[in-house]
Amino acid sequence: MIALTAAEIAAATGGVLRGAAATEPALVVSGPVVVDSRDDVTGGLFVALPGENVDGHDYASVAVAGGAALVLAARDVVGAGGDVLPSVVVADVEKALGDLARVVLERLREAALEPGGSDLRVVGITGSVGKTTTKDLLAQLCGSVGPTIAPVRSFNNEIGLPLTVLRADESTRFLVLEMGASGPGHLTYLTDIAPPDVAVVLIVGHAHLGGFGGIDAVAVAKAEIVQGLVADGVAVLNADDPRVSAMASLAPGDVVTFGAAPDATVGVRDVRLDRAGRATFTLVQRAEAERTAEVSLRLVGEHHVHNALGAAAAALAVGLDLDQVAAGLSAADALSPHRMHVVDRPDGVTVVDDSYNANPDSMRAALKALAVLAGRDRRSIAVLGEMLELGPDAREAHDAIGRLCVRLNIGLTIVVGEGARGIRDGANHEGSWGDEVVLADDLTVATAFLESELRPGDVVLVKSSYGAGLWKLGDTLVEGGVR
């Protein structure tokens, strides 16, 4: 975080100085902002967030002992000797964290406009599918030309986004932010903290339907990121999704489109997949004159072409040229864990760990990638768990995935947990027979069954919502724990 005094943090958050901070308001906080006392917080700010199972206030003294200069808290926090720790006490810690990030970003934008400033550009990315991968791709593209800050893993909510903003400093050239929403108003809250210069909308899909009430409501909520742009901001919209392209009317400034549509500003031609499921294609920039460049992705799955186009369109919008974008995409790797992480084990088994999250769109994409990887000479195994937060359409959505497993000729499907039973039922209704589809009561049963079945040459996909817990099996498989 940029250096701020305790008094400045109190002013930004509407808080009251307590402990040593009250007698020394000029105390400087220049280290990181953290919510976990186990992280390095030397000279920084410890944010004492209350939680369902753990209350950060209980760890404030640990953080200060570890080097924290100041605590952001909702009540007085005391050290081992009973003294009130140096702190800013606020009514709502989570809101105060967002307020602090807003003020810091405003200061950074002002500094960026000064002579010799960084010319900071903020990019926000949202969509029902592909946010984290697109964020990772764009961060690598931007990072090749200037100092770039982007979220770790999938820090895309009311806590993760402010923490990401607060990692930026006066040298930051690009601030890439992932913005998630599980209900109306969530993106408005995030864009109020960090209004983007460029807003990317990937797709309106079937994720978190339970929190919205229907896909049209998802579209309205995703459009909040476009409405949250700065006054002359650029909207980067998926030309292949009519719900997304319709958001152009809400854009305050220029609109850039991407996709397979022939009139997309950033388009694609001649997509080819190699034997490992990696795509090569011609990237097309349609401006005053059409330009093209070849891209060969390292990521596995044809669906990543769409993510790459979104990242390319955003990168072009913030000033990179086409050749830089094409070279950067071809060199980019998958950065976040449990997201189409492909590992070839020494025993001949290939693991595709895509267990961080799941919805009908991402599940279909992962299964198609599995089918390509396995081809005709290897057995495909799909270990599938529940897709959460789908609301009243959950049963039908799981049924459709089971039917797709049969249509893709998946060799063995292991369905984990009662919530995912619809996958087994859908496969049976589509014509699966014998032992092609197995329902396991829980992860322990699924792991034991897979251990008895797995053999050299198999290609195994692990896919579910994070809350279903299949990421634990993903870790085990990648580490080679299941033979």
d(CA 187, CA 127): 11
Task: Supply the pLDDT for residue 51.
Answer: 81
Where do we find the tokens 């400093």?
Answer: 169
Which CATH number is 341-479 given? Answer: 3.90.190.20
Lookup: tokens for 310: 């979104």
The one-character DSSP state at 467 is G
d(CA 345, CA 351): 8
Which CATH number is 4-91 given? Answer: 3.40.1390.10
Q: Which residues are annotated as a binding site?
A: 127-133
Task: Supply the pLDDT for residue 256.
Answer: 98
Lookup: tokens for 229: 């742009």
Helix and strand numbers (H, E) in the chain are: 18, 22
Nearest Cα to Cα of residue 335 among 135, 122, 126, 130: 135
d(CA 404, CA 427): 8
d(CA 78, CA 265): 57
Q: At what angle do helices 322-331 and 131-143 cross, to 10 degrees?
A: 120
Strand partners, 200: 125, 236
Q: Which residues are annotated as a binding site for ATP?
A: 127-133
Task: Supply the pLDDT for residue 53.
Answer: 84
- By DSSP bridging, strand 412-416 and strand 380-384 are parallel
Task: Supply the pLDDT for residue 237.
Answer: 98
d(CA 179, CA 158): 9
Ordered by start, the domain boundaries in the chain are 4-91, 98-331, 341-479
Class of domain 98-331: alpha beta
Lookup: tokens for 414: 């292991």
CA 388 → CA 80, 97, 136, 398, 439, distances in Å?
43, 28, 24, 10, 18
Task: Supply the pLDDT for residue 90.
Answer: 98
Q: Which long-range contacts (CB under 8 A, 24 or more apart) does 441-446 make?
A: 441/417, 442/416, 442/417, 443/416, 443/417, 443/469, 443/470, 443/472, 443/473, 446/383, 446/414, 446/416, 446/473
Number of other CB atoms surrounding residue 25 within 10 Å: 15
pLDDT in tens, the chain (483 residues): 999 999 999 999 999 999 999 999 999 999 999 999 999 999 999 999 998 789 999 999 999 999 999 999 999 999 988 899 999 999 999 999 999 999 999 999 999 999 999 999 999 999 988 999 999 999 999 999 999 999 987 789 999 999 999 999 999 999 999 999 888 999 999 999 999 999 999 999 765 555 666 888 889 999 999 999 999 999 999 999 999 999 999 999 999 999 999 999 999 999 999 988 999 999 999 988 899 999 999 999 999 999 999 999 999 999 999 999 999 999 999 888 888 889 999 999 999 999 988 889 899 999 999 999 999 999 999 999 999 988 888 999 999 999 999 999 999 999 999 999 999 999 999 987 778 999 999 999 999 999 999 999 999 999 999 899 999 999 999 987 775
